[in-house]
Structure 1
């Protein structure tokens, strides 16, 4: 790889990181201030609400959110403490855990969704 090409790739990478950092901070700040929920909690609710009445396997939710299993467990625990989601064991595989959104979680998601989408539009639109 030529030094010029390497420099271009590095600059693009740094621009991407800066964009992600700015957007995630703006999302976290707006969601926390207006709805008392962090970006990770909102993203989990967003995926759960999009699933309809289905339950998500924890590992599938982790993959959709690009979080480690432990980071997702902490996120889901916060949702569970607030009554926004529930966790249940899989009847067929005791190692598997399912997550589902509650009605309270759906209500909070409905209130926070416009804030989330507004911040996205402001930074990406």
Structure 2
């Protein structure tokens, strides 16, 4: 019987994590909508922005990005195509490996990220403070 209670608690905890994720994603989508992006779009911009230095934006391979933003490569490729169409990122061949595709922020992407970031961080603070 004790194992069943423990298992039930584990399942309940997992479902609480899923519910928090769903609520947070909805809040993020709502907060980021005025900037023309959603939560997944912002996450890609945010990871790309982490690599920006005084010398400009760093390029990331799509394969590297997919591990950081928790999207499949095909879903990430579609998302990157949308961001490229909106002028927020550039895609190109990796100079070291012509089979790979790399992505980097444009000036417009850097500006959009900077505008949206405080709103994204506010939602995360509000939704995740005390969640653990």
Category of TM-score, reference length = shorter chain: over 0.9
Which residue of the other structure, out of 83, 89, 97, is the alignment partner of 2:87?
83
1:18 corresponds to? 19
CA positional deviation for 1:92: 3.3
Distance in 2 (CA, whole Å) between partners of 1:77 and 1:114 is 25
CA positional deviation for 1:35: 1.0
2:122 corresponds to? 118
Q: TM-score, normalised by structure 2?
A: 0.90
Distance in 2 (CA, whole Å) between partners of 1:117 and 1:54 is 22
Distance in 1 (CA, whole Å) between partners of 2:42 and 2:107 is 15
Aligned residues: 124
Are 2:68 and 1:67 aligned?
A: no
Hey, which bits of structure 1, 4+ residues long, moved more than 3 A? none
2:48 corresponds to? 48
Distance in 1 (CA, whole Å) between partners of 2:96 and 2:48 is 22
Unaligned runs of 5+ in 2: none
Q: Let me know the Cα RMSD of the aligned residues.
A: 1.1
Unaligned runs of 5+ in 1: none
Q: TM-score, normalised by structure 1?
A: 0.95
